Amino acid sequence: MEKVNIKFHDNYTVTYQHKKILQFVPELSVDKNQRITTPNIPLLTISTQSNYLGYFLTKTISLVLTATKYKPFISLTADELVFGYDDTLVSLAHRFYPRNRRPMSQMGLLNGRNGTLTEYATMHTGHTGMEKFGYFDKLNGLDHMPQWEKEPCSSIEASEGSFFPPREVTNSDVVYIYDKDLCRSLPLVYRHPVEKDGIGADLYTLAEDAYGPPNENNSCYDHPDYKKYQGLQNISPCQYGAPVYISNPHFFQSDPQLLDAVEGLKPEKDIHQTFFKIQPKLGVPLEGQVRVQLNLLVEESSNVMATKHFRNFVFPIMWLEEGVSELTPPIRRWIYLATVFAPTALPIVSYGAILTGTFALIYVFVRAYKNFVFTSDPATEFLEMGRRSIRRGSSMIINGQHRILLQRDSYILLNNNNVNGLHNNNLHNQEQHHHRNKDQSLLSEDDSPA
């Protein structure tokens, strides 16, 4: 199954069509050319409907069916029964029935289900809220199902099976899934938490009264001409007016009268119940199966010779299941990372980062405390170092265009001209001192006694 012709809209919805490719698996099947004796569905349909057409029209139908030698049971291959075979009654109905009730040109239980489906769905993406995430906004451009006149039967507020509103967000114990073949939405009720492939999920099963008895949620599906049974629902508006009814496979959770009327059925919960396992944070189904049985309501019609020996009962034709048993490895891996690994790893990484940062701050604080508290006063130490450096210096330090004259513990900043003048004065003073000493020596010699 693939989504094709995808188009996103400004109101945060997306439109697409489903492309279903059915592949035959021989090792899980009987030979598709094996012949099966099965009820003649077109004949039983028209004989039942003839009871509501009037005596003369019913007699006319009986004569036509007798002349064409129609039998209540026919022999078909498995492939013909499922995917279509030629039938005169169906061909006539396809040619003359009104467009809204016109069947396909061939009779087949799954006829027209292989390839791109004609209907197109517009779904909520969850961008503006998760309450309707994965639910229909429109179906074939309509905001309701035209086959049903009243709510909630005509409502399209349901999922097509890919996504559901997450229960952790909505806090709702009921979700809905739409089935095209049933042209209705089915209520799935939360039961209890489960686990699938190491991933937590919520188990949902079909509501016990989904197909009846009649109540406020499903009475709008009933047909006034047929008796109402528990666990049996009319879908004739979706089947071109044919008296087709749906139930759980093998009449599971249905009226015991339905089971007693036929032989060979044995309802079992594990293989006949509709269920879904939905991840509560993402709304993604991890596993799920929609299981449904198609039944034909047969009524005694004494005026139609071909079926006059039939009694009134619900004739089970076939049951089928559609869903997913295992996720593909990439999808399962991403769901596991998002719902199991990330919630566990994120707190570990966060708390680890907090602890690492805390230890780093403590280490820096301790080193700084030792350096600036337990040693001598830094200001005093810097001043003493500077004083020792000045004492060890030479008398003058030439630095660029300036020179520094150092005298004991003080210094004078002089420019080059001042330094040169000071040097010349020092030399002149030294010469005067030398001459003075020399004169004093001469004077001493003259004054000395002979």
List, for residues 291-314, the tens digit of each pLDDT value.
999 998 888 777 777 777 778 889
pLDDT band for 449, please (50, 70, 90 cuts): very low
Indicate if the pLDDT at residue 225 is higher than 80. Answer: no
Give CA–CA dist 357/352, Å, rounded: 9
pLDDT for 186-211, tens place per residue? Answer: 999 999 999 988 889 999 999 998 98
On whether the CB atoms of residues 163 and 284 are closer than 8 A, the answer is yes
| Least confident interval from 179-193, 213-227, 265-279 | 213-227
Q: What is the pLDDT of residue 412?
A: 46
**pLDDT(447) > 50:** no
CB 226 within 8 A of CB 297: yes
What's residue 419's pLDDT?
A: 46
Mean pLDDT, to the nearest integer, of 74-99?
83
The pLDDT value given to residue 399: 47
Rounded to an integer, the average pLDDT of 350-355 is: 83
pLDDT at 206: 94
Task: Give the count of beta carbons closer than 10 Å to the beta carbon of residue 327.
Answer: 19
Q: In Å, what is the CA distance from 296 to each residue of 26, 37, 152, 197, 233?
A: 29, 16, 25, 39, 11
| pLDDT value for 324 | 86
Mean pLDDT of 166-194: 91
Q: Which of 388, 378, 396, 226 is nearest to 313 (CA)?
A: 226
**What percentage of the chain has pLDDT greater than the value 70?**
79
Is residue 61 helix, strand or coil? helix
Q: Decide if pLDDT at 12 tops 80.
A: yes
